A and B are shown apart, each in its own frame.
Chain A
Amino acid sequence: QVQLVQSGAEVKKPGASVKVSCKASGYTFTSYGISWVRQAPGQGLEWMGWISAYNGNTNYAQKLQGRVTMTTDTSTSTAYMELRSLRSDDTAVYYCARGVEMATTTLGYWGQGTLVTVSS
């Protein structure tokens, strides 16, 4: 069965960087892209971006351009999301997710979420 297992919670200071991992299993990793979605406490869902696990192509939300980098390691079937220059409003649960269909972001499979807290 498809599983996405994310790394554990992080506490970071403003200005620092965080890198969250998402290890996939149960399918051919390079056949599907991985999306990243975050949710601030008590708020809605925010789409952050998508990476093709096939060729590494990325699309990022305009709001995060220049601060976010998504990568994959096909040897370990793991996707990564790095966010730099952290601010307090980056405090959120970060999810990785996979589409139910190839080449779409209809997010039918989700990781368990990683809480990132940014605080001085």
Chain B
Amino acid sequence: EIVMTQSPATLSVSPGERATLSCRASQSVSSNLAWYQQKPGQAPRLLIYGASTRATGIPARFSGSGSGTEFTLTISSLQSEDFAVYYCQQYNNWLDTFGQGTKLEIK
């Protein structure tokens, strides 16, 4: 099983600032990496897939980068609605796994 490790577990950032979230895979997943946002009581929302492709309707302030084992989700200027939990997911081998999540909270 490919283990996905996200860091940090919690990130405190002020509105308007930049947030950088990391995700590491225990072995290469090529670019088969997605990012999701989840708010309390809601289903996850797909933000990024293919490591860097924004899903339909996702604002340009969200960007993804990386390949192989190291990935980054960057939110360029945080809005109030961006404070949530973020998960990465690898889908490289039809045995997907999620990271444990990063909680993005207001500083």
Contacts and interface: CB of A to CB of B under 8 A. Distances in A.
A55 interface: no
Interface stretch (B22-30, B66-74, B91-99): B91-99
A35 B38 CA distance: 17
Nearest to B50: A106
A111 to B, nearest CB: 7
Interface stretch (A21-29, A41-49, A81-89): A41-49
A107 to B, nearest CB: 6
B98 A44 contact: yes
A77 interface: no
A106 B46 contact: yes
Assign chain B's interface to a size class. Answer: 20 to 34
A44 B100 contact: yes
Query: DSSP class of B's interface residues: helix, strand, loop or mixed?
Result: loop
A107 B36 contact: yes
Interface in A62-106: 62, 95, 97, 100-101, 104-106
B100 A108 contact: no
A110 B44 contact: yes
Contacts of B83: none
B1 A62 contact: yes
A105 B43 contact: no
B106 interface: no
Contacts of A97: 43
Interface string B30-41: 000010101000
A35 B34 CA distance: 14
Contacts of B101: 44-45
Contacts of B38: 45
Given A62-B1, A100-B55, A107-B34, A44 B91 contact: no
Contacts of B96: 35, 47, 50, 105
The 10 closest A-B pairs by CB, nearest first: A110-B43, A106-B49, A47-B96, A45-B98, A108-B46, A105-B91, A59-B94, A44-B101, A44-B100, A106-B34
5 contacts: A35-B96, A45-B89, A61-B95, A108-B49, A111-B43
